[in-house]
């Protein structure tokens, strides 16, 4: 025995009855649904013109330039938050004036051979270069940055 699966798809609230997909075969709407659609009042039904069915919501593309795709309703496309890159959040911070600052490299190991003046200079925070602003701001979307700070 082969089991058949049945799935209903609706492209938009105004597109009419759903199409039935059974074992990957596309079928037309049921006759009962078509008769129900004929009874509904619409501008096409009132004018006496024959009922025109909408284009298939999942067309099989014959040529890409001849047809434009029909609009589908997307329900889960709002309210997403951008993610903060956590490694970047640990490496950069913003001063009170809105500058992005970072630490200098070279202060982790092999300190015996570096003189005190050099180690002191490496300890201080250093402003991020303007050419790197877009990279840092892209990784940290919620950073309060003053782009015009010097």
Which CATH number describes the domain made up of 86-139? Answer: 4.10.410.60
**pLDDT tens digits along 37-76:** 555 555 444 555 555 555 556 666 665 555 555 565 555 5
pLDDT band, residue 80 (cuts 50/70/90):
confident
pLDDT of residue 110: 96
From the number of C-beta atoms within 10 Å of its C-beta (0-12, 13-18, 19+), residue 100 rates as buried
pLDDT of residue 109: 96
> What integer best gives the mean pLDDT of the chain?
73
**pLDDT tens digits along 88-135:** 999 999 999 999 999 999 999 999 999 999 999 999 999 999 999 999
pLDDT at 23 over 70: no
Could you tell me the residue ranges of all domains in the chain?
Answer: 6-47, 86-139
Neighbours of 114 (CB within 10 A): 14
């Amino acid at each position: 025995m082969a089991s058949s699966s049945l799935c209903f798809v609706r492209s938009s609230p105004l597109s009419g009855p759903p199409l039935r997909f059974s074992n990957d075969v596309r079928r037309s709407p049921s006759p009962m649904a078509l008769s129900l659609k004929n009874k509904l009042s619409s501008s096409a039904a009132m004018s006496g013109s024959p009922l025109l069915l909408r284009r298939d919501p999942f067309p099989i593309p014959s040529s890409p330039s001849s047809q434009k795709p029909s609009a589908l309703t997307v329900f889960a496309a709002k309210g997403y938050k951008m993610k903060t890159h956590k490694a970047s959040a640990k490496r950069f911070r913003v001063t009170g004036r809105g500058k992005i600052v970072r630490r200098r490299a070279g202060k982790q190991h092999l300190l015996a051979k570096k003189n005190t003046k050099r180690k002191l200079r490496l300890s201080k925070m250093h402003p991020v270069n303007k050419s790197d602003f877009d990279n840092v701001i892209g990784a940290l979307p919620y950073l309060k940055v003053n782009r015009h700070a010097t």
